[in-house]
Structures are given as C-alpha cells and as structure tokens.
Amino acid sequence: MAEEQRESNKKVILGDYALDIDVSSALTGLKAVKRCANEAVQAMEKLDDYSGKASFLQLGDMIRIGSLEAFSTEELHEELAKREGVQEVIVDNHRTMYLQTAIGAGGSIPVSGPARILINKD
C-alpha cells in the first residue's frame, strides 16, 4: 500500500513551495494501454500460427480462414451465380428437366426439382 502511495502521489518541491501530484488516473490509463497492447501481441502471435497452415479467403463480403471447404455449398453457389459467364437454371419443385448429354452420345440426364444448376460458359 505504501509503495502504491509513492507510485501514484508525487511530491515536488519548488523553492518554498511543495506540490503533491496525484498521478493514479494516469497510471490506471497506462496499465489499460499495456493490457490492450499485450492482447494485440497475443492476437498477432495467433495469426502467425495460422500462416502457412491456412489462408484468408474472401468470397463476396464473406471472409473465412482456411480453404474453400470453409464456405458452405450454398455460399459458393450464390457467389458463382453472380459471376459473368455463368447462367443459373432453376428446376421447380415436382418438375423434371432433362439435360442432353454430349452431342452424338444420344442420351439425357433427368434432373428432378427442386434444383439449381449452374452453367459456366467461360
């Protein structure tokens, strides 16, 4: 307690005058800054641990750490559907659509709804 008293109250003598200066609020603020700095260092160390193991991926406005597996199939589909050169075909519930296989192969693939099909023309 006495050591705390000495740390937060400083006595300054200027000629015939003596001043008691209370710096406890400044010390409290500095301790808070130190805690925040330590937290930032820990976060940077954690980020260093990720480097080389994973990468930051951005898909639209979504950011994930890892690989494409970090995104759901729905998120990937939504992003691809927005792209130029990609066409989306929607098969409604209780409907069936037939996709023709390669020309000359003479077959088709039935697709029952609900389904969303992406056609990449790039």
Residue 61 forms part of a structural domain: no
Q: Which residues contact 9 (CB under 8 A, 6 or more apart)?
A: 20, 21, 22, 23, 24
Amino acid identity of residue 23, one-letter, is: V
Structural domain of 32: 2-50
pTM (two decimals): 0.46
| Calpha distance 99→119 (Å, rounded) | 11
Residue 91's H or E segment, with its range, is strand 86-91
Q: What is the pLDDT along the chain (122 residues), one digit of tens a residue?
A: 444 445 567 777 777 888 777 888 888 899 999 999 888 888 877 776 666 555 667 777 777 777 777 788 998 898 899 999 999 999 999 999 888 877 666 788 888 989 999 999 88
Give the model's pLDDT for residue 95. 92
Query: 23 - beta bridge partners?
Result: none
The two structure tokens encoding residue 7? 């740390």
Does a structural domain hold residue 17? yes
Evaluate whether residue 8 is within a structural domain: yes
Residue 71 domain-assigned (yes or no): no
> Is residue 66 included in any domain, yes or no?
no
In a domain, 64, yes or no: no
**Tokens 């494409």 identify what position?**
68
**Phi/psi at 83 (5° precision):** -75, 150
CA-to-CA distance for 72 and 66, rounded, in angstroms? 13
